Amino acid sequence: MPVDPISLEVFKNMFISVSEEMGVALQRTAYSPNIKERRDFSCAIFDPSGQMVAQAAHQPVHLGAMPASVRAALDTFQDALRPGDMVILNDPYLGGTHLPDITLVAPVYSDPDMGRCLVGFVSNRGHHADVGGMTPGSMPLSTELYQEGLILSPIKLARGGRLNQEVIQIICRNSRTPDERKGDLAAQIASIRVGEKRLQEVSRRYGIDDTLEHMAALLDYSERVTRRAIEQMPNGSYHVLDYMDDDGLTDHPVPIAVTITVFGDHMCIDFTGTSPQRPGCINAPQAVTVSAALYAIRCIVGGDAPANQGCLRPVEIITPLGTLVNPQPQHGVAGGNVETSQRITDVLFAALAQALPERIPAASQGTMNNVLIGGHDLDRNKPFVYYETIGGGMGARPSLDGVSGIHTHMTNTMNTPIEALEFAFPMRLKRYALRRGSGGAGQHRGGDGLVRDVEFLGPARVTILSERRKLAPPGSQGGHPGHHGENVLLRSGYEEIQLAGKETLDVGAGDVLSIRTPGGGGWGKPAENSA
């Protein structure tokens, strides 16, 4: 079958549908609210060389980093992945992002009567609410990776279709919530098997040669479309310096610098000038930094190009070793995947706004507002761990206001429904509302943040990882900044205590945690009579 625009579109949608069906299987069979309700997972398929060919519309921070996990699996098991094999890993320095994100990778071979040719690989990543470590939720204010939980370098979870139950037992034994880990791992395995079956069906229907030819053609097509988009940008260098509030251990702001250089159809993204790696847990593995860059590029290219690694071919990404955006082992990274990725995205868009001022929005909330709560459920007489990211204000756009109360940029999760939260955990949701007026003023106004108040029904330990509590999301083109966020503890529901952006604390029954998320920046100078 010759490659033409029609066949390319057909294969593109078939590959995407495989990823989407994997995601449906994972969500519908998952055990934990974090995966089942919040949908904190991602799925993608890869060609035989490990290049990402297609992905479902899941988590940007996962999807851009998953190629590094597939590459780590292939490097570890060179020419040794056979039908029925499956690799598991979460090591941030070997293809992972942070330890709660567990990735499965499996080769897909054609049917035996077709010669057992390698068609490609399927992979998924799920955020497990607890994989051990010094605090519930495995995202502590750590000083080294070893404090964050169980580290899994690439190992075979299955050989020839037979699961290694001992590996699953080790993972469960290191978690405060072993039943959740067992159930969520089973869901990930089922999702992988669905992907294998569907990709085999594609190769059986169209043949190995045509399937592989269209995988390569899709990568080439994405490259061409990306080059065309870069060519439309003015040549030049665009530099931005922004700061994270702190690293959780010191009060010093942490600089992130980027210079984007455009020349013809080529782009260089250079993070030279960024802070050295930090003693706190906000270091972002290189895969996370690349993921943010891919997301930003995808945004300027738009929906014309399939979301695959072909988009990165015209782009050089410089991440100096030993810096915040490419730390050396074994620095802590628990917050790098969630918080630093958002700030990297902020600086990338701010630089792109210099080249494309009429296309790039103002800064969004710039944080995922991570809340992790763990303790012992007295009613059920067993441990529990709750994890949530909370939406906020989207930055105003050149032609529209920003959206209020939404997850932005590197996260694409949903919230935990109130009914699911109160059923599964010893907590009660007291308030969940828009934080009116928190978006920045401008010709177009930034979206408002959220207020989420949770009452504890028993003692618990809380970890908060958040940003934009000191430095507000900036506006663009004369727009005003959005309001910075606040974290507040109400002792016994009344005594108000201001909390830091990154903090671990013990709470008791009757205490209320109030997370007040940032608003987005405004775009354009506001009218004189605007608020």
Q: Are strands 495-499 and 486-491 parallel, antiparallel or unpaired?
A: antiparallel
Q: For the chain, what percent of residues have pLDDT higher than 70? A: 98
Q: Domain ends where: 177, 199, 222?
A: 222
Whether 501 contacts 469, CB under 8 Å: yes
Q: Does some domain include residue 496? A: yes
Q: Domain ends where: 178, 194, 222?
A: 222
Note the pLDDT tens digit of each residue in 80-96.
Answer: 899 999 999 999 998 88
Whether 510 contacts 492, CB under 8 Å: yes
Domain that holds residue 526: 362-531
What pLDDT was estimated at residue 209? 93
What pLDDT was estimated at residue 116? 80
Give the 3-state secondary structure of 475-505.
CECCCCCCCCCEEEEEECCCEEEEECCEEEE
Q: Does some domain include residue 120? A: yes
Note the pLDDT tens digit of each residue in 484-497.
Answer: 999 999 998 888 99
Say if residue 391's pLDDT is above 90: yes
Q: Are strands 155-159 and 118-127 parallel, antiparallel or unpaired?
A: unpaired
Confidence class for position 525, pLDDT limits 50, 70, 90: very high
**Angle in degrees, 0-180, between the axes of helices 341-355 and 286-301, rounded to the nearest 10:** 40
Q: Does some domain include residue 283? A: no
Taking residues 431-438, what's their average pLDDT?
A: 97
Q: Does some domain include residue 41? A: yes
Confidence class for position 435, pLDDT limits 50, 70, 90: very high
Q: Does some domain include residue 251? A: no
What pLDDT was estimated at residue 112? 60
Q: Is the dihedral of CA 380, 382, 383, 387 positive or negative?
A: negative
Helix (H, G, I), strand (E, B) or coil at 438: coil
Taking residues 213-235, what's their average pLDDT?
A: 95
Say if residue 186's pLDDT is above 80: yes
Q: Does some domain include residue 450? A: yes
Q: Domain ends where: 222, 247, 265?
A: 222
Q: Does some domain include residue 432? A: yes
What pLDDT was estimated at residue 302? 80
Q: Are strands 162-163 and 155-159 parallel, antiparallel or unpaired?
A: antiparallel
Lowest mean pLDDT among 56-65, 435-444, 504-513: 56-65
Note the pLDDT tens digit of each residue in 122-176.
Answer: 999 999 999 999 999 999 999 999 999 999 999 999 999 999 999 999 999 999 9
Confidence class for position 60, pLDDT limits 50, 70, 90: confident
Q: Does some domain include residue 175? A: yes
- The label of the residue with tokens 């990211």 reads 389
Say if residue 114's pLDDT is above 70: no
Confidence class for position 530, pLDDT limits 50, 70, 90: low
Confidence class for position 79, pLDDT limits 50, 70, 90: confident
Model pTM?
A: 0.95
Taking residues 205-230, what's their average pLDDT?
A: 95
What pLDDT was estimated at residue 411? 86
What pLDDT was estimated at residue 412? 81
What pLDDT was estimated at residue 115? 56
Q: Among 211, 42, 193, which Cα is nearest to 120's?
A: 211
- Residues 6+ away with beta carbon under 8 Å from 112: none
Both tokens of 438, joined, read 């928190």
- The label of the residue with tokens 């030819």 reads 213
Structural domain count, the chain: 2
Note the pLDDT tens digit of each residue in 440-481.
Answer: 999 999 999 999 999 999 999 999 999 999 999 999 999 999
